[in-house]
Structure 1
């Protein structure tokens, strides 16, 4: 398996605080059948700043440590980029990294409680430059939950999204799980990844999440998500179903 969103680098954000912690997290990944991890430390976050050059160096160091520890995981350098108006300029400077070296996909994080007013224009400009934004964990964004049509418009216009394994397993609450399932049902998400930070508090749960997808949507959907991660790693076009508006649940009182 491939995990496209993981905070495995040590001493850079709210993930592992030591190299030993990173190696422990990598061993857990290996036990789940994960072979490749895209490292996505927070960048341009209010609390963390991880420029592209420092991330590349950290990933090289971690891959060397993984080899010495006989852990069969390959780590690829990228970032979880907090949305900001200068992303294109920072890409050109090498400060912002795509999901793969020389690739065309960008993992973009929104604030938990907002969607910036310039998002549509920024994403259009990125696409005109040949980049495809991947919205990280939209199921945890307050604005998208309250008005899913905003996310629908972004996806309809060419953006992709990635949901978190723990959202599907119910570890982030029943409401988040339900909304995540609605996004899958409406073809509004294209990847499942761990967003893992720690072995105990925020682990991978990818196997469990794929099991939930299989139960609710069939094994073909599982294959699609896994294949999309592989296609992403090869910087190829991912599988995209026709997006649909999220179907709102009809309550008892809406029937009268």
Structure 2
């Protein structure tokens, strides 16, 4: 439910061949239903629903057998996002969910207002990789605050390894221990991530998360 598999639209798959290679690798890991979420980020990857749908069509008829690939986006909370929101041109996940992100360095001053407004408009927010927002690390109670606002949290599978560093790993583990995680996603960008993903099922916090019964990933396949 979080991946970068559309060719040539962001910092994920570079071309169709690259996309198919990554998707084939995911199939070998046991993934069959994929919702890919390329970046929509105005200053770096200024995608629209049209550009992403065009890229998605390039994979039509080329997917490995048994794979379904649905399309959404990982939306950066910037002016382009607000424009697409006003134009009603967003592509939410099933359940009218929006996967969102923002700066990992500094918290947007109006973050709670944005979350509230999206809720009023009928969207369910999923915050991508909360363990990677460095400014939250010293204010762990803020995770509880946004959960109380109804925001769902999606941990990156690779955060359960040392892929992003030990500190990110420790925050991811703490969020799992406190039963705050709603979704797990690969956030896969390239083939090299596949080898790292193979380590995830052997981590004790992955096992705890799966056994918790709290994961909502299956809600996105209905």
Which of 13, 17, 28 is equivalent to 2:14? 17
Compared CA separation, residues 87 and 38, structure 1 to 2 (3 A): same
Deviations 1:101-153 (A, max 9, x none): xx410000111102201110111111111111111111111111121122220
Conserved in 1, the CA contact under 8 Å of 2:160 and 2:205? no
TM-score by length of 1: 0.79
* Structure 1 unpaired stretches of 5+: 235-256
Secondary structure of the 2:89 match is coil
Q: Offset at 1:65? A: 1.9
Among 93, 104, 116, which residue is 1:112 paired with? Answer: 104
| Runs of 5+ unmatched residues, structure 2 | none
Give the aligned partner of residue 34 of structure 2.
37
Q: Where do residues 130-209 of structure 1 align in structure 2 (5 Å cutoff)?
A: 130-200=122-192, 202-203=193-194, 205-206=196-197, 208-209=199-200
CA distance in 2: counterparts of 1:216 and 1:6, whole angstroms? 21
**Alpha-carbon distance, 1:209 to partner:** 2.6
Contact 1:113 1:141 in 2 (8 A): yes
| Higher relative contact order structure (alpha carbons within 8 Å, sequence separation ≥ 6) | 2
Structure index of larger Rg:
1
The normalised TM-score by structure 2 is 0.90
The structural deviation recorded for 1:211 is 3.6
Q: How many pairs are equivalent?
A: 222
